[in-house]
């Protein structure tokens, strides 16, 4: 897996870090096959989970759009696969839902999410027989994986909590049911880190949100 694959943030202007109401740019790269309602649900779930954090999320879908804005932090999000809400073919080694790159102990702001793995976990053990998934459910699941990875990026840390959106592995229920949220502990870490943006990651290796099986 190549690092530095996403290099289209050159136009983004970084401003000084702010402890509160930090402007976080999310530069989204989705395959053209992704239905718009999936992306909308992804955004909505992400916004909902971060609404009490003081972060202002600014979504951009092109380099030109990103260049119009200024940010405190920038995260590049890439969705991998066709990202059509259909049950995918079973494939090997597909436990990784999403990941964030780490280089020399520092978390890099590049998040990648595997649509096929998310869909596979959504269908794992599901009583549903249809091969189709509602786009809003798929988008919501993607949003949960994104928030997990964003916490790694924004806290510059590989830390996980036992519960909530920062736990190390998600199963079908985590992706599809109820209200999986950030725990108070995760929110505390986030607030601390926004005031100290130069923290180093605690562990090496790429950070992955895994499927729990």
Query: What is the C-alpha to C-alpha distance for residues 12 and 70, in angstroms, rounded to an integer?
Result: 6
DSSP alpha helix (H) spans, the chain: 36-50, 63-67, 115-123, 135-155, 172-176, 184-195
Question: Between 84 and 145, whose beta carbon lies closer to Zn ion?
Answer: 145
- In the complex, what is the shortest distance from the CB of residue 45 to Zn ion, in angstroms, rounded to a whole number? 17
Nearer to Zn ion, 34 or 166 (CB): 166
H helix or E strand, kind and range, residue 96:
strand 96-103
Report the helix count and the strand count for the chain, using DSSP H and E. Answer: 6, 9
Give residue for tokens 């999936």: 38
Shortest spacing between CB 106 and Zn ion, in angstroms: 16
CA distance 82 to 84: 6
Of 12 and 189, the one with the shorter C-beta distance to Zn ion is 189
Q: Which of the residues 39 through 98 are near Zn ion (CB under 5 A)?
A: none
Residue 167 CB, nearest approach to Zn ion (Å): 8
Q: Which is nearer to Zn ion, 158 or 176 (CB)?
A: 158
Shortest Å distance, C-beta 46 to Zn ion: 16
Contact characters 99-118, Zn ion, x per CB under 5 A: --------------------
The token duo for 111 is 């998040």
Give the separation between CA 108 and CA 106, rounded to whole angstroms. 6
CB of 168 to Zn ion, least distance (A): 6
Considering only residues 152 to 211 of the shown chain, the ones binding Zn ion according to CB under 5 A are 207, 209
Residues touching Zn ion, count (CB under 5 A): 2
Q: Smaller CB distance to Zn ion: residue 34 or 76? A: 76
Cβ contact 56:26 at 8 Å:
no
Smaller CB distance to Zn ion: residue 120 or 148? 148
Q: CB count, 10 Å around CB of 207?
A: 24
Distance CA 63, CA 35 (A): 21
Residue 83 Cβ vs Zn ion, minimum distance, rounded to whole Å:
21
Q: Which chain residues interact with Zn ion by CB under 5 A? A: 207, 209
């Amino acid at each position: 897996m190549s690092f530095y694959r996403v290099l289209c943030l050159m136009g983004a202007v970084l401003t000084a870090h702010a402890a509160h109401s930090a402007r976080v740019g999310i530069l989204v790269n989705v395959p053209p096959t992704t239905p718009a309602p999936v992306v909308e649900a992804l955004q909505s779930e992400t916004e909902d989970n971060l609404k009490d954090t003081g972060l202002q999320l600014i979504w951009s879908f092109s380099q030109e759009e990103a260049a119009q804005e200024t940010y405190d932090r920038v995260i590049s999000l890439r969705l991998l696969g066709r990202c059509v809400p259909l049950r995918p073919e079973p494939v090997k080694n597909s436990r990784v839902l999403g990941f964030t790159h780490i280089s020399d102990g520092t978390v890099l702001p590049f998040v990648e999410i595997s649509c096929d793995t998310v869909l596979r976990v959504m269908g794992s053990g599901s009583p549903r027989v249809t091969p189709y998934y509602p786009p809003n459910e798929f988008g919501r699941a993607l949003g949960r994986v994104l928030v997990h990875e964003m916490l790694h990026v924004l806290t510059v840390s590989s830390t996980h909590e036992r519960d909530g959106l920062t736990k190390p592995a998600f199963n079908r229920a985590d992706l599809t049911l109820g209200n999986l949220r950030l725990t108070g502990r995760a929110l505390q870490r986030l607030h601390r880190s926004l005031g100290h943006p130069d923290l180093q990651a605690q562990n090496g290796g790429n950070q992955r949100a895994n499927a729990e099986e």
